[in-house]
Amino acid sequence: MPRPIEALIHAEALTHNLARARAAVPDARVWAVVKANAYGHGIARAFEALRAADGFALLDLAEAQQLRDLGWRGPILLLEGVFEPRDLELCSRLNLWHTVHCEAQIDWLAMHKTHQPHRVFLKMNSGMNRLGLRPAAFRAAWTRLNALPQVDEISLMSHFSDADGDRGIAAAMQVFGDATRDLPGERSLCNSAATLRHGDDAAVRADWVRAGIMLYGSAPDFPAHDIAHWNLRPTMTLRARLIGTQELQAGDTVGYGSRFTAEAPMRIGVVACGYADGYPRHAPSGTPVLVDGVRTRLVGRVSMDMVTVDLGALPHAVRGSEVTLWGRASAGAMLPIDEVAHAAGTVGYELMCALAARVPVRLDGGS
């Protein structure tokens, strides 16, 4: 019998969440961001469910090739552009649109021999100071690109550092607006947080939004808002089973480092899931978990292959009982990945991307 742990990917929830992105910005087109193997969900698994997107955005050329192999003929955008000149050949062959965020990428394009001019997204650094040309250099870069026979159409993009928080996007919008005022071309600015929180502003939603985390059932601005607030559905469930139970006496401790001490007699369950499955090792005692669909808590340290949970409220739980680490219990109860991530001091993004290769993954047709 295989070890009792699996992950489920909920296809209908992906489709629902994509529809939510569309509804938030009805007159804009939506890139489904599927970098990092669709945020850990698997591009091949997520593809059909996200097929209604206007395009797919990602980083890795191998993932772009995978999408073409899956039969996707529509737009694909490389969010970081090409990493070396010869990548441009693949862009020509697979008809990939690519971001241009630095002068070197323009130099490479100028030397590239192609019969098929490229669609590029010129990226501005509007304050995040990660990728992108500074506002003062943006217009000159646009003029250079515009003069290249290798370039067909130039769109303009930027990425917000604070769309999910109180600092907001006003400063970046001002910088971007000032530097692009009379430049032609489509615009793309919004990630999930900006789509949901600021998408009602036409200048912000612009022509294309780049929706990532919201497609995968995580609220980009948790804990300010949760997925119920944004009407998003969980797309990944991590489920395991109890493989043992222990009766503790007052004063007994649990796990490595004896980090949890029973204050009174209590029963705990041992779950077939640990940090080698992608469960966060830093999740403290108290982190929520569902046993047979009933909410309880982690007790003691997360170890490589096991976690331990409080069965105080679950007298009927036995070896074999279902444990939902995040996502949906069979009986329907739900534990948002954001709650687990928050308890562990991280974000839903990290947990879904860290799902370990040893966990079998099943595509669940229903949500």
247 contacts 337 by C-beta, under 8 angstroms: no
> Which residue in the set 119, 159, 239, 241 belongs to the binding site for ligand PLP (CB under 6 A)?
159
> Which residue in the set 192, 235, 308, 324 belongs to the binding site for ligand PLP (CB under 6 A)?
192
Looking at the Cβ atoms of 8 and 38, the one nearer to ligand PLP is 38
Is 123 an active-site residue? Answer: no
CB of 80 to ligand PLP, least distance (A): 8
> Which residue in the set 88, 213, 219, 306 belongs to the binding site for ligand PLP (CB under 6 A)?
213
Q: In this structure, is the dihedral angle defined by the CA atoms of residues 17, 20, 26 and 28, taken in order, positive or negative? A: negative
Binding of residue 91 to ligand PLP (CB under 6 A): no
Binding of residue 220 to ligand PLP (CB under 6 A): yes
CB of 155 to ligand PLP, least distance (A): 13
- Among 191, 188, 344, 351, smallest CA distance to 277 is for 351
Looking at the Cβ atoms of 192 and 237, the one nearer to ligand PLP is 192
Contact string 17-36 vs ligand PLP (x = CB under 6 A) = ----------------x---
Is 35 an active-site residue? Answer: yes
Q: How many CB atoms lie within 10 A of CB 113?
A: 8
CA atoms within 13 A on the CB side of 309: 35
CB of 295 to ligand PLP, least distance (A): 27
| Per-position DSSP letters for 44-68, written without gaps between them | HHHHGGGTTSSEEEES-HHHHHHHH
Region label for 339, one of left (φ > 0), alpha (ψ between -120 and 50) or beta (otherwise): alpha
Binding of residue 191 to ligand PLP (CB under 6 A): yes
Tell me the C-alpha distance between 56 and 48, whole Å.
12
Looking at beta carbons, which residue is closest to ligand PLP?
212
- Among 236, 310, 297, smallest CA distance to 14 is for 236
> Which residue in the set 46, 79, 242, 262 belongs to the binding site for ligand PLP (CB under 6 A)?
79
Token pair for residue 28? 């804009």
Looking at the Cβ atoms of 159 and 328, the one nearer to ligand PLP is 159
Q: For 214-241, b where at least 16 C-beta lie within 10 A, e where not — what string?
A: bbbbbbbbbeebbbeebebbbbbbbbbb
> Which residue in the set 55, 132, 199, 212 belongs to the binding site for ligand PLP (CB under 6 A)?
212
- Among 130, 141, 129, 131, smallest CA distance to 180 is for 141
> Which residue in the set 10, 118, 210, 233 belongs to the binding site for ligand PLP (CB under 6 A)?
210
- Binding part of the chain for ligand PLP, among 67-75, 167-175, 187-195, 292-300 by CB under 6 A, reads 187-195
- Binding part of the chain for ligand PLP, among 172-180, 189-197, 242-250, 327-335 by CB under 6 A, reads 189-197
Report strand pairing: 260-261 vs 253-254.
antiparallel
Catalytic residue among 39, 123, 216, 256: 256
- Binding to ligand PLP (CB under 6 A) within 272-311 occurs at none
Looking at the Cβ atoms of 11 and 213, the one nearer to ligand PLP is 213
The label of the residue with tokens 């997925």 reads 227
- Binding part of the chain for ligand PLP, among 21-29, 82-90, 210-218, 224-232 by CB under 6 A, reads 210-218
List active site positions: 35, 256
